[in-house]
Structure 1
Amino acid sequence: MSYENLAGRTAVVTGAASGIGEATAVLLAERGARVALFARRGERLEAIAEKIRADGGQALAVVADVTDDASVVAAVERVHTAYGAVDLVVNNAGVMLPNPIADARVDEWQRMIDTNVTGVLRIIGAFAGDLNAAAEQGRRADLVNVSSIGAHVTGFTDYAVYGATKAAVTHLSALLRNEFGPRGVRVTNIEPGLTESELATHIDNDGLREQIGGLVETTGSLAAAELADLVVYVTSRPRHVNLRQVVVLPTAQV
């Protein structure tokens, strides 16, 4: 793939302490963007930011909890103070907590809704003005939401609530194009299949955790760096080109 240089762009990546978020932040910086890394684990974020800077990139570690209004407000202020306005937002923070619906794990439901849906909305609302302003100035402006193949594939038993939260992200992305598209802001929704990440480590159901492991052994998985490569590709297209929906799977996953 041929990439345009991302120099001059300012990006925010949520869930940047590991997995897809970390890989995306690193690659965006490598391509020339200034990157603010959002996540809750400050020490981990700073280590990644230090590595980016050591490699010649620009990175800012910002401790932020997307489920908390005050935390997001403070994080946005820190980015604006350090880097100014943002023109590229990657909504990647998410949690996957599968369990049978009959277990009525309201704590898990709320955590997934707060992170996967409301957290995504908080970040969009916080940076919508920046994105619109960048587009008005004739620059590329991108909102990338990382959803999941679980948004519309119903074969994953006990993942109903997780899938519903990701379906909300996918549908939200489509509807937001009505608001952002005419203003020149691109909205891209990415639905990965099985991907190397920490999501499975959050599962407290041994059987479901082993099920994920078995699927990975059978079909393989995508590397986080491969998803990062995709994010960089879609955000580096000419500004009139919007790859609005991308589903990416290991070849053997059906």
Structure 2
Amino acid sequence: MDQVNAVAGKVVLITGASSGLGESSARLLASRGAKLVLVARREDRLQQLVAEIIAAGGQAVYQVVDVTKAAEVEAAVALAVARFGRLDVMINNAGLMAIAPMSARRVAEWDQMIDINIKGVLYGIAAALPVFEQQNSGHFINISSVAGVKVFSPGGTVYSGTKFAVRAISEGLRHEVGGAIRTTTILPGAVASELKQGSTHSASAEFVQAFYQQNEIPADSVARAVVYAIEQPDNVDINEIVLRPTVQEF
């Protein structure tokens, strides 16, 4: 199989594309010839990324999107169809990891994680699914975490709850729409990104920073997994990819 041609020409929308896993995936997919729609909240980062991709000969557009607002996610999907005529892959990547013990009662942070990590994924599915159904083809790639396999402790109870939810939603979606529409869940361990900066609870933030310093691998590790899932033949559905640093025990 020609891996470059398997990705070339595919229209891919990535949420949370301004840094980390989303940015690395955008750069690698662009180098393989994908047409990209990149969305996030930080316009300056999106502008720079798109400019660099275009300067390197790639194709990309961006739109400022808050994934907690369904109408904004729908508008991004509409942009993909208007600009490129279709949408082949929806990567629901935007996420927040606010680690803190339950006793700290960071209820506002619980709400944020639910809104971004769960509802943001659902809004991405709701926006892209009608397009995929009309095309009779499409591919959802939802970014969960190894914290969606085993509860991250200490302090990761709610975060893990959101990532378990992403895994469950992805599997249920596969059962409902599988056939012409593929569904992949990617569950990374400690990967270099801004995710580790999401904790405002001081003791938890110190723990997370130390954990990542000891374990993290580059974000392009996940980007390669994304490409691997996309480049498979249409009759192959890579359902889950769990990847960890070799030194990470959790």
TM-score, with structure 1 as normaliser: 0.93
Matches within 5 A, 1:1-254: 3-5=3-5, 6-134=7-135, 136=136, 141-182=138-179, 184-218=180-214, 220-254=215-249
After superposing the two structures, state which structure 1 stretch, 200-209 or 86-95, moved more: 200-209
The question of whether the paired residues in 2 share the 8 Å contact of 1:20 and 1:228 is answered with yes
CA gap 1:2/1:198 in 2 versus in 1, 3 angstroms: farther
The alpha carbon displacement at 1:247 in A equals 0.5
1-structure distance, mates of 2:157, 2:164:
10
Moved over 6 A (4+): none
Partner of 1:215, secondary structure, is helix
Could you tell me whether the CA contact under 8 Å between 1:150 and 1:156 is conserved in 2?
no
Following superposition, the deviation at residue 205 of structure 1 comes to 1.9
Deviation at 1:252, TM superposition (A): 1.2
Provide the C-alpha distance between the structure 1 equivalents of 2:33 and 2:177, rounded to a whole number of angstroms: 25
The 8 Å contact of residues 3 and 236 in structure 1, kept in 2 or not, is answered as yes
SS in 2 for 1:89: strand
Counterpart code for 1:170: R
Q: Distance in 2 between matches of 1:79 and 1:152?
A: 32
Superimposed CA distance per residue, residues 27-85 of structure 1 (whole angstroms, 9 cap, x where no aligned partner): 11111110000101111101000000000000001111110123223323322222222
| CA apart distance, 1:163 | 0.3
Structure-2-length-normalised TM-score: 0.94
Q: For residue 115 of structure 2, give the secondary structure of its aligned residue in structure 1.
A: helix
* Identity value in percent: 38
Which residue identity is paired with 1:118? K
Deviations along 1:79-102, whole A, 9 cap, x unmatched? 222222201111100001111112
Q: CA RMSD in A?
A: 1.6
Structure 1: runs of 5 or more not aligned: none
